[in-house]
């Protein structure tokens, strides 16, 4: 335990430095943070002020983390422009607004990288572990702080993209119905995004973003390109290409949407058939590991017990 005593001042010094840096950042940008809070209060409405203390504490913690991440994004050389663009694309593909989510993600990484190794060292010191084990715990905490947010974002992105792939054909069918009822593309997108808010929120969010681009951008072809490239989903790219071609060549919108919907549904059926064909090969390992030993025990076990009894009788 005597070897762990010099570690305590180091841990205390690291915590003091971390808290001092956080306090300096908060005091430095206090005016900007107060202005942002006033803007959020105006945008969200006065009803949010009646929320509980837990929500207020959560918003305060998010504001601190966002402030740290914004400082890292602007003043640090840890992340290049290409890294920030890649992170923005991942966040957009996960359903988050990139402009507001990038500082939160970067701040979370910095906080975890600073806190997890210190917490691991403190745990190792209190538990009386050897110095080598404490260093291993600190390394594990550092790796978790660096890779943990990326793993969570990857998991959320896979879920988000999966929901979009599952609901894209249904959204196209609804767009076909709206277009055949006489609606234009803008009105059809607005109606379908409103109808799918509860059944498939990712599709509703993607369609509403596409509608905003169509209304704001001067060139509709740029809106189609953004819709296809924003999330990196092949189904969205194909739909955007078909819409751009229908506008360019004057093809009916309902026919183009119906063709894309039928193609996506056919590809989904093909993927399901491929999974069904791979199922026997995937069942070989569980069959060998779990089922065959049980069959051997049930079928050969009684005969083996009888033979053992017979041989033991002969030996006596």
Which residues lie below 8 Å from residue 158, measured CB to CB, with a gap of 6+?
none
pLDDT value for 33: 52
CA distances from 49 to 59, 65, 75, 88 (A): 12, 21, 33, 31
DSSP the chain: -GGGTTHHHHHHHHHHHHHHHHHHHHHHTHHHHHHHHHHHHHHH-GGGGGS-HHHHHHHHHHHHHHHHHHHHHHH-SSS-HHHHHHHHHHHHHTT--HHHHHHHHHHHHHHHHHHHHHHHHHHHHHHT--HHHHHHHHHHHHHHHHHHHHHHHHHHHHHHHHHHHHHHHHHHHHHHHHHHTT--HHHHHHHHHHHTTTT-HHHHHHHHHHHHHHHH-S-HHHHHHHHHHSS--HHHHHHHHHHHHHHHHT--HHHHHHHHHHHHHHHHHHHHHHHHHHHHHHTHHHIIIIIHHHHHHHHHHHHHHHHHHHHHHHH-
> Could you tell me the pTM of the whole model?
0.62
pLDDT value for 10: 57
Which residues lie below 8 Å from residue 122, measured CB to CB, with a gap of 6+?
11
Dihedral Cα 306, 307, 313, 315, nearest 10 deg: -160
Could you identify the residue written with the tokens 């193609």?
263
Task: Find, among 98, 120, 102, 100, the residue nearest to 110 by Cα.
Answer: 102
pLDDT value for 34: 55
Note down pLDDT in tens along the chain; length 316 residues. Answer: 444 444 555 555 555 555 555 555 555 555 555 555 555 555 444 444 433 444 666 667 667 777 777 777 776 566 667 767 777 777 776 667 767 777 777 777 777 777 888 888 888 788 777 878 778 888 888 888 778 777 887 888 888 888 888 888 888 888 888 888 888 888 888 888 888 888 888 888 888 888 888 888 888 888 888 887 777 778 788 888 888 887 777 778 788 888 888 888 888 888 888 888 888 888 888 888 888 888 888 888 888 888 888 877 766 6
Could you identify the residue written with the tokens 């709206």?
178
Give first-to-last CA distance, the chain, whole Å. 61
pLDDT value for 46: 40
pLDDT value for 315: 66
pLDDT value for 22: 57
Task: Find, among 203, 215, 208, the residue nearest to 161 by Cα.
Answer: 203
Residue 179 Rama label (left phi>0; alpha psi -120 to 50; beta): alpha
How many Å apart are CA 143 and CA 117, to the nearest integer?
9
**102-137 b/e (C-beta count within 10 Å ≥ 16 → b):** bbbbbbbbbbbbbebbbbbbbebbeeebeeeebeeb
pLDDT value for 3: 45
């Amino acid at each position: 335990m005597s070897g762990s005593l010099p570690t305590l001042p180091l841990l205390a010094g690291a915590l003091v430095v971390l808290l001092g840096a956080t306090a300096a950042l908060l005091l430095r940008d206090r005016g900007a943070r107060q202005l942002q809070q006033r803007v959020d209060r105006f945008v969200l409405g006065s009803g949010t002020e009646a929320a509980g203390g837990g929500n207020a504490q959560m918003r305060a913690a998010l504001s601190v983390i966002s402030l740290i991440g914004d400082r890292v994004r602007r003043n640090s050389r840890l992340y290049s422009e290409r890294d920030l663009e890649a992170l923005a694309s991942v966040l957009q593909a996960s359903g988050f607004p990139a402009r507001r989510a990038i500082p939160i993600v970067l701040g979370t990484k910095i906080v975890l990288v600073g806190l997890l190794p210190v917490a691991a060292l403190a745990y190792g010191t209190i538990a009386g572990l050897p110095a080598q084990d404490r260093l291993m715990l600190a390394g594990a905490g550092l790796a978790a702080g660096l890779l943990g947010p990326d793993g969570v974002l990857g998991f959320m992105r896979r879920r988000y993209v999966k929901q979009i792939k599952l609901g894209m054909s249904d959204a196209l069918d609804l767009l076909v119905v709206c277009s055949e009822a006489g609606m234009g593309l803008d009105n059809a997108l607005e109606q379908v995004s409103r109808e799918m808010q509860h059944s498939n929120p990712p599709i509703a969010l993607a369609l509403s973003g596409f509608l905003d681009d169509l209304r704001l951008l001067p060139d509709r072809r740029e809106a189609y390109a953004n819709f296809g490239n924003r999330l990196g989903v092949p189904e969205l790219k194909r739909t955007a290409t078909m819409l751009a071609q229908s506008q360019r060549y004057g093809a009916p919108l309902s026919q183009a949407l119906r063709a894309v919907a039928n193609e996506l549904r056919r590809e989904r059926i093909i993927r399901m058939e491929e999974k069904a064909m791979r199922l026997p090969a995937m069942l070989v390992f569980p069959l060998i590991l779990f089922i065959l030993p049980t069959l051997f025990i049930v079928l050969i076990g009684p005969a083996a017990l009888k033979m053992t009894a017979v041989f033991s009788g002969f030996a006596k």
